Structure 1
Amino acid sequence: MPRVVVFEEFGGPEVLHVVEEPVVEPAAGEVRVRMEAFAVNPLDLMMRSGTAPAPVPLPHACLGVEGTGVIDALGPDTTGFEIGDPVILAAVPDAGVRGSYAEYTTLPVGRVVARPAGLGVPEAAAVWVAYSTAYGALIEKARMRPGDHVLITAASGGVGRAAMQIANQIGAVPLALTRQAGKRDELLAAGAAAVIATEDEDIAESVARHTGGIGADIVLDLVRGPGQQDLLKAARPGGTLVVAGFLDPRPTPFPVGPPLTIFTYQSFEHTLDPVVVKRMAAFLAAGVRLGALRPAVYDKEFSLDEVVEAHRHLEKGLNSGRKIVVLAS
């Protein structure tokens, strides 16, 4: 029988188990996907540990909001895809019930998109969450335009790297923010126009220097917490702050500083909207075709039986911001 990763209680990576379960037939309007690979995301760790913002149904909870595979079966009256079509999972809002950590999963047909030609299986497994989040925050919310200076926090992470590539694709100027100066060369190679290391630079002064004293047009905050106050000082009056992450669990003070347009962004806001998903998929396919968009994948691939070790690698930061991929078949 097909295998799936489940957990019966919250805790560390060791609570994850691979079990066998009967294959599920897709209902009307659904597709069944034979999973080839899935990526491990910070949200998966939060769900597993019981710290996710949304409740996770125990016992026998599943995991996974991202992955790629091939259409294996179509439910009654399901159109838009054929058996054998390679796809990417665009949204798994009920990941605790039928996540991507499995050899097979069923989804509404509107929750999958065609896999862009030119992406290998590991890259396709790791592309959607980061790029859809960065696209939604910067283009759909902040209306990023060519020439905009965009300050990107947590720039070495998956969403940060995606944001830099998306900014470059439309002609904006990505300014990468990181804590460690040792990551400067890596981030420049990843697409940053400039790198600001907070361990030895003042954020506002550095941004002013790189923007001719004007400040950042857009600030993408993927961290939150008290450090957000320093980001506000780096934005130009009338600029835009998009808060799209939660890496710092400490309280975030009320924004004080120059007048800004402030958005809070969550990816499901758009990945459940078929109109926006169509735009996202088209933008992603074009970027892949042009060579502008390419996810950074950790050089070690894990098997389904090694999912516990994959979670340990992500918790320890051994992936250095590159997406960890588990091969499902």
Structure 2
Amino acid sequence: MKAVVYRRYGGPEVLEMGEVPEPKLGPESVLIDVRTVSVNPVDWQIAAGRLDSRFDVHFPVVPGWDVAGVIAKVGPTVTGFAVGDEVVGYVREDSIGRGTYAERVAAPVRTIARKPANLSWEQAAAVPIAGLTAYQSLVHALRVGAGDTVLVQAAAGGVGSFAVQIAAALGARVIGTASARNHDYLRGLGAEPVTYGPGLGERVRMLAPAGVSAIVDMYGGETLVSSLGLLREDARGRVVSLTNDGVLEHGGVFVFARPSTADLDELRQMIENGLVVPEIATVLDLSEAAEAFRLSQSGHVRGKIVLRVSVG
């Protein structure tokens, strides 16, 4: 089958289209005919070798963890899913090698859920990693609810746009950082926008003089440290970081999304109820994965980059 592969660490230039064996189907897995996948920053970070200390890597690597497609086969012990079911998944294994940028993917059932009925294939692929990261940060780590004021960093990005909508759906007031060109977009999602960069603290305090009750950090480093001063006294430590486990030193939580059928099902309910809508930045063909990496690396993408694998 066709897949995107890389045979050594590097930038977008190491990606190539190749032929790889069809994945074997385990007893608790399903084989998915892939329709679309989405591109996440972690994909090119892994390809660059940045997570080499955290994962065993087996070359050649097929990148990608997000997938949307149709079940072609089921393992002998699988229940709850059948051939023909439309599903989405965050198909992360304990080592790096078999990814989702391919025509077919073998996915453990614990990593998949039914596709939201009201989404296109392109929108569906955008949900798993970004949606789970935002959902698990807000629901499990921060336990956000009515009465909270949540600061979401990089609120117009893939994870940030999910976080804004999910926090608003949970009843929270949301302040989101973004460039000025994305402020109207954030208002449409339910956030009060502020421009990121020097003076951010003062701008946030103008909206929330007493401070915020929770923070979703996308940057780490000095941005994380300076943001901690915006937390109310009764909310110390109520911060998650998606990029830097140094947040643990400040009493916060480091979030690296976990595959979860239950959480994907909760997201599906929010999406089908119109509370969350995935934002698509651009759709490219699978053969354009290198260009997708370059766009993602630019850091100026609103929403998600999606690769179209097949049209079914």
TM-score by length of 2: 0.91
- Please give the alpha-carbon distance, in whole angstroms, between the structure 2 residues aligned to 1:235 and 1:96: 37
Amino acid at match of 1:146: A
Aligned length: 308
Alignment partner of 1:245 is 2:242: yes
**Partners of 1:220 and 1:241 within 8 A in 2:** no
- Please give the alpha-carbon distance, in whole angstroms, between the structure 1 residues aligned to 2:106 and 2:295: 28
Structure 2 residue aligned with 1:265: 255
Structure 2 residue aligned with 1:90: 90
Structure 1 residue aligned with 2:225: 229
Q: Which moved more, 1:97-106 or 1:53-62?
A: 53-62
C-alpha deviation, 1:118, in angstroms = 0.4
Alignment partner of 1:156 is 2:156: yes
Deviations 1:159-192 (A, max 9, x none): 11111000111211110023x3333223222321
265, 271, 287: which one aligns with 2:270: 287
- Please give the alpha-carbon distance, in whole angstroms, between the structure 1 residues aligned to 2:252 and 2:57: 33
Question: SS at the partner of 1:216?
Answer: coil
RMSD across aligned positions (CA): 2.2
Alignment partner of 1:18 is 2:17: yes
C-alpha deviation, 1:198, in angstroms = 3.3
- Please give the alpha-carbon distance, in whole angstroms, between the structure 2 residues aligned to 1:165 and 1:253: 26
Structure 1 residue aligned with 2:173: 173
Q: Which runs of 5+ in 1 are unaligned?
A: 256-260
Structure 2 residue aligned with 1:76: 76
- Please give the alpha-carbon distance, in whole angstroms, between the structure 2 residues aligned to 1:189 and 1:46: 31
- Please give the alpha-carbon distance, in whole angstroms, between the structure 2 residues aligned to 1:297 and 1:242: 27
Structure 1 residue aligned with 2:116: 116
**Partners of 2:57 and 2:95 within 8 A in 1:** no
Alignment partner of 1:220 is 2:222: no
**Partners of 1:29 and 1:77 within 8 A in 2:** yes
Amino acid at match of 1:102: A
Amino acid at match of 2:207: H
C-alpha deviation, 1:56, in angstroms = 4.8
**Partners of 1:5 and 1:101 within 8 A in 2:** yes
- Please give the alpha-carbon distance, in whole angstroms, between the structure 2 residues aligned to 1:224 and 1:200: 15
Structure 2 residue aligned with 1:258: none
Question: SS at the partner of 2:97?
Answer: helix
Structure 2 residue aligned with 1:43: 42
C-alpha deviation, 1:291, in angstroms = 1.1
**Partners of 1:135 and 1:163 within 8 A in 2:** yes
Q: Which runs of 5+ in 2 are unaligned?
A: none
Alignment partner of 1:302 is 2:289: no
Structure 2 residue aligned with 1:206: 203
Mapping for residues 179-190 of structure 1, pairs under 5 Å: 180-190=179-189
Deviations 1:278-306 (A, max 9, x none): 1x2332122112211111101x3211211
Query: Matched residues, percent identical?
Result: 30
Amino acid at match of 1:266: F
C-alpha deviation, 1:234, in angstroms = 0.8
Q: Which moved more, 1:137-146 or 1:51-60?
A: 51-60
**Partners of 1:6 and 1:17 within 8 A in 2:** yes
Structure 2 residue aligned with 1:146: 146
Structure 1 residue aligned with 2:305: 324
Amino acid at match of 2:116: P
Question: SS at the partner of 1:166?
Answer: helix
- Please give the alpha-carbon distance, in whole angstroms, between the structure 1 residues aligned to 2:225 and 2:92: 33
- Please give the alpha-carbon distance, in whole angstroms, between the structure 2 residues aligned to 1:238 and 1:168: 21
- Please give the alpha-carbon distance, in whole angstroms, between the structure 1 residues aligned to 2:108 and 2:196: 44
C-alpha deviation, 1:54, in angstroms = 2.3
Cα gap change, 1:58/1:77 in structure 2, threshold over 3 Å: closer, same or farther? closer
Bigger relative CO (Cα 8 Å, ≥ 6 apart): 2
Amino acid at match of 1:65: W
Deviations 1:230-277 (A, max 9, x none): 211111012143333228x9x87954xxxxx52222212xx2xx5xx4
